[in-house]
């Protein structure tokens, strides 16, 4: 049985070889559709990897954050809110004890400050926290060290800056050479003890400038608005991704015990949820664009069907002869289905290579024009989808011509001119 099937496949392959131009034209539609599908999926996966890395650098997916609500939406506009809680170190310790699935906790306060060094002045985002801050986000050091627990406890005048800020403060030298130098935060002298490694996301036209300092130094640098208080946030690091939900549940329980009507006064956010929202948005975009690209595959399938219908008409006499010498209806169907799938797979292979080339070119444009380090990401799912979709197109659109050929009467087929 297997030898008969392979013989039918060989007959179909010979027919494709004998008519190279017709085969090439039928392959072209599948090639274009497959190339567009592969390029779309690899570029989308590359963009998703880029965004995922950026989100994880800013906030770990295992972090649960409690932020005081400083304003509320009322009568169509945002109005200031004054009854928000001001979390303390004691609150942080109590919450860490209450949340059994939490590994560590930190109290964080953010703001903006003027940073100056040798006549260069820039405004940067400043994050004040404990020495455990690197545990709550990807902070890879390029030089120096992050401030220690002892430096934070004794409120020593130290600061860690990111690569973009170091480059702005030392435009003509090595940014990592800022380690050991003194800078001023809002006219307060601070010694740089560390410079974060370059992330690849630095944009000279719109730089993201950041500095990190011990929490106890915040009151000397940040000035609250009149009638407002500095409101730190609490961050809890879950032991694992699986324990994030239990930590979030413990946080909500702790808040309900401490504050009346807490949902109006505190926001609880999970880094994993933010990442999931981004991934969901990219998945929707990927499915939508993939559906549009699928139209190209349908057009290619129609081309295959037209070519095979023409082949059935041209080879009617051949089909009749094969049937007269013992070929069954299933043999004729297998022959034409083999031709259809061979055309589709040939287009898929060529389209796969062309799609990778297109994806490489598109991501190179992203890196050159936008400055974003985006690279094509080829996954097994992309390869599988491209192969299966092309094979399915070959089978679906080859079925009708194959059935038409298989149903021909041997006598009428032989008599056909």
- What would the mean pLDDT of 311-319 be, rounded to a whole number? 66
230 in Cβ contact with 123 (< 8 Å) = no
Instruction: Provide mean pLDDT across the span 234-260.
Output: 88
Compute the average pLDDT of residues 21-46.
75
Average pLDDT over the chain, rounded to whole? 79
Per the CB < 8 A criterion, the answer to whether 326 and 56 are in contact is: no
Question: How would residue 95 be classed by pLDDT, with cut points 50, 70 and 90?
Answer: very high
Q: Which of 158-162, 212-216, 276-280, 321-325 has the lowest mean pLDDT?
A: 276-280
DSSP string, 81-114: --------HHHHHHHHHH-TTEEEEEEEEEEEEE
Give the pLDDT band (50/70/90) at residue 370: low
DSSP 142: E
Q: What is the mean pLDDT of residues 111-133?
A: 92
Residue 219 has pLDDT above 90, yes or no: no
Q: What is the pLDDT of residue 351?
A: 80
Which one-letter DSSP state was computed for residue 178?
G
pLDDT value of residue 384: 77
pLDDT (0 to 100) of residue 315: 63
pLDDT at 316: 67
Over range 2-7, report the average pLDDT: 55
Average pLDDT over residues 98-111: 91
Higher pLDDT, 130 or 59: 130
CB 63 within 8 Å of CB 235? yes
Render pLDDT for 59-77 as a digit per residue (tens, 0 to 9): 567 889 999 998 887 877 8
More confident residue, 188 or 135: 188
What global pTM score does this model have? 0.58
Angstrom distance (rounded) from CA 34 to CA 299: 11
Q: What's the CA gap between 272 and 319, in Å, rounded?
A: 61
- Cα–Cα distance for residue pair 267/70, rounded to 1 Å: 10
How high is the pLDDT of residue 8? 52
CA dihedral 278, 283, 284, 287 (to 10 degrees): 160
pLDDT value for 363: 84
């Amino acid at each position: 049985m297997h030898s008969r099937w392979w013989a039918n496949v060989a007959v179909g392959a010979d027919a494709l070889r004998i008519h190279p131009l017709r085969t090439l034209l039928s392959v072209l539609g599948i090639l274009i559709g497959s190339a567009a599908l592969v390029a779309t999926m690899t570029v989308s996966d590359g963009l998703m990897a880029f965004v995922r890395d950026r989100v994880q650098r800013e906030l770990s997916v295992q972090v649960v954050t409690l932020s005081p609500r400083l304003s509320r939406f009322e009568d169509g506009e945002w109005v200031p809110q004054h009854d928000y809680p001001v979390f303390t170190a004691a609150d942080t310790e109590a919450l860490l004890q209450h949340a059994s699935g939490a590994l560590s906790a930190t109290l964080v306060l953010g703001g903006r400050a003027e940073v100056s060094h040798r006549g260069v002045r820039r405004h940067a985002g400043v994050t004040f926290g404990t020495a455990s801050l690197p545990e709550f986000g990807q902070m890879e050091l390029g030089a120096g060290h992050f401030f220690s627990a002892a430096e934070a406890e004794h409120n020593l005048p130290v600061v860690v800056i990111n690569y973009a800020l170091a480059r702005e403060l030392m435009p003509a030298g090595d940014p990592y050479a800022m380690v050991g130098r003194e800078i001023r935060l809002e006219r307060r002298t601070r010694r740089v003890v560390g410079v974060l490694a370059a992330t690849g996301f630095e944009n000279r036209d719109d730089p993201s400038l950041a500095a990190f300092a011990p929490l106890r130094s915040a009151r000397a640098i940040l000035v609250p608005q009149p009638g407002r208080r500095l409101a730190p946030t609490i961050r809890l690091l879950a032991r694992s991704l699986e324990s994030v939900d239990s930590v979030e549940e413990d946080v909500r329980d702790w808040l309900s015990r401490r504050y009346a009507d807490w949902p109006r006064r505190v926001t609880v956010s999970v880094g994993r949820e933010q990442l999931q929202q981004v991934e969901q948005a990219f998945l929707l975009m990927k499915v939508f664009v993939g559906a549009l690209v699928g139209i190209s595959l349908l057009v290619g399938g129609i081309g295959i069907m037209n070519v095979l219908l023409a082949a059935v008409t041209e080879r009617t006499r051949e089909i009749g002869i094969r049937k007269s010498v013992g070929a069954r209806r299933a043999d004729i169907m297998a022959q034409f289905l083999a031709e259809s799938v061979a055309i589709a797979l040939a287009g898929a292979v060529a389209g796969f290579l062309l799609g990778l080339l297109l994806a490489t070119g598109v991501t190179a444009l992203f890196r050159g024009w936008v400055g974003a380090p985006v690279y094509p990401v080829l996954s097994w799912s992309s390869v599988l989808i491209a192969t299966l979709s092309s094979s399915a197109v070959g089978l679906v659109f080859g079925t009708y011509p194959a059935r038409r050929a298989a149903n021909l009467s041997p006598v009428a087929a032989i008599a056909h001119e």
